Amino acid sequence: MLATTRKAAGLFIRGALAAFSVCALLAASASASPPWKFNHSQLMTSETIVGTSLESALTIPGLTTKCEMPYKMTMENTAGTGKGQITQLALNNCTTNAAPCTVGAAAASGLPWPLKLVTVMADYVVISNVKASLLYQGEECVLDGVLVKITGSAGGLFNNSNSRAEFSSSSFAATGTELRALGSKIEWNGVLTTEATGLHMGEALEG
Burial (CB < 10 A; 0-12, 13-18, 19+), residue 154, is buried
pLDDT in tens, 62-81: 899 999 999 999 999 999 99
Selected residue with higher pLDDT from 13 and 152 = 152
Hey, where are the domains in the chain? 1-31, 37-206
Taking the CA atoms of 101, 130, 201 and 158 in sequence, report the sign of the dihedral they define: negative
Query: Taking 60 as the threshold, does the pLDDT of residue 179 lie above it?
Result: yes
Vertex 204: Cα angle to 201 and 207 (nearest 5): 125
pLDDT for 55 equals 81
Condensed to tens digits (0 to 9), the pLDDT of residues 76-122 reads: 999 999 999 999 999 999 999 999 999 999 999 999 999 999 999 99
Confidence of residue 13 (pLDDT cuts 50, 70, 90): very low
Calculate mean pLDDT across residues 189-206: 97
> What pLDDT is stored for residue 81 in this prediction?
95
Cα 117 from Cα 124, distance rounded (Å): 6
Mean pLDDT of all residues in 1-12: 45
Predicted confidence (pLDDT) per residue in 139-155, tens digit: 999 999 999 999 999 99
